[in-house]
A and B are shown apart, each in its own frame.
Chain A
């Protein structure tokens, strides 16, 4: 019964992802992707990873996708009539590579007999936390520093410049104030 559920959820995830990557409207694509992530979260739960399933729902579907939605609405990109669907020239290299991967998957599935493993080994929160904070404690520290750097970088990129970068004709828009100051210093010298 659980195996049947896995295959159903796998089909849901693949179909939702397929709709997401062919959708012209970015907001619809994100909603399809949230569907796919929910199905994938239940797949994680079935594979014995309840904590990762919960984090998938909270962080991926809850935080990252909402961040995408915020940016789409902030930049006013939700106009499907203005968005350009990629032409045929964009599709064929992607389809060739996708066909190569699909062929590899088919060969792999056909050549190897699938051995059914008995028993579900659910990895609980205790074992997970012990591996996370004892065995990989340094990695947690590095990840925290990485998140801090991302926060600082996003803050730096997202702040409003004092003088908005006017689109200059030569394509050299947006001189920083520091560069202007340096140029002025050179002039005085």
Chain B
């Protein structure tokens, strides 16, 4: 470890807070909302990798890889949903998608 674990966790917390702010702010654009989720997942990955480096175990890195695979699945599904909803309502504003009936 080249830096203390606390500093890595602080960086992860700052990135997570930025992603959370992005999700909360951009309700007018579902693409930016997904970008905020990406930022938050990256911060979680950074925390996992920092822990793996701190304790010298490979498990944290394995779970970082799991997060990456989960993110790719989530993004592909979410973007397919965005394409579907945009085809239907011609907008990406989240507030427009307020009805559940198909």
Contacts and interface: CB of A to CB of B under 8 A. Distances in A.
Interface of A: 2-3, 6-7, 10, 13-14, 17-18, 20-21, 26, 29-30, 33, 36-37, 40, 43-44, 46-49, 51-52, 55-56, 59-60, 63-64, 67-68, 71-72, 74-75, 77, 83-86, 90-91, 93-95, 97-98, 101-102, 104-105, 108-109, 112, 114-117, 119-121, 123, 127-128, 130-132, 135-136, 139, 143, 146-147, 149-151, 153-155, 157-158, 164-165, 167, 171-176
Interface of B: 1-11, 13-22, 24-29, 31-32, 34-36, 38-39, 42, 45-46, 49-50, 52-54, 56-59, 61-62, 64-66, 68-77, 79-84, 86-89, 92-93, 99, 101-102
A102 B10 CA distance: 9
B32 to A, nearest CB: 7
15 contacts: A2-B2, A13-B11, A14-B18, A21-B21, A47-B2, A48-B52, A75-B86, A77-B92, A97-B21, A101-B13, A123-B56, A127-B58, A136-B66, A147-B73, A165-B87
Contacts of B56: 121, 123
Q: Interface SS of chain B: helix, strand, loop or mixed?
A: helix
Contacts of B81: 157
A2 B7 CA distance: 14
Most chain B Cβ neighbours within 10 Å, of A10, A47, A158: A47
Contacts of B101: 171-172
B32 A29 contact: yes
Most chain B Cβ neighbours within 10 Å, of A20, A90, A104, A167: A20
A83 B79 CA distance: 18
A33 B1 CA distance: 26
B54 A158 contact: no
Nearest to A47: B53
A157 B49 contact: no
B10 A105 contact: yes
A64 B71 contact: yes
A103 to B, nearest CB: 10
B13 A75 contact: no
B29 to A, nearest CB: 6
A56 B59 CA distance: 17
Contacts of A68: 31, 34-35, 75, 79
A55 B68 CA distance: 8
Given A47-B1, A157-B83, A114 B7 contact: yes
B68 A174 contact: no
Contacts of B32: 21, 26, 29
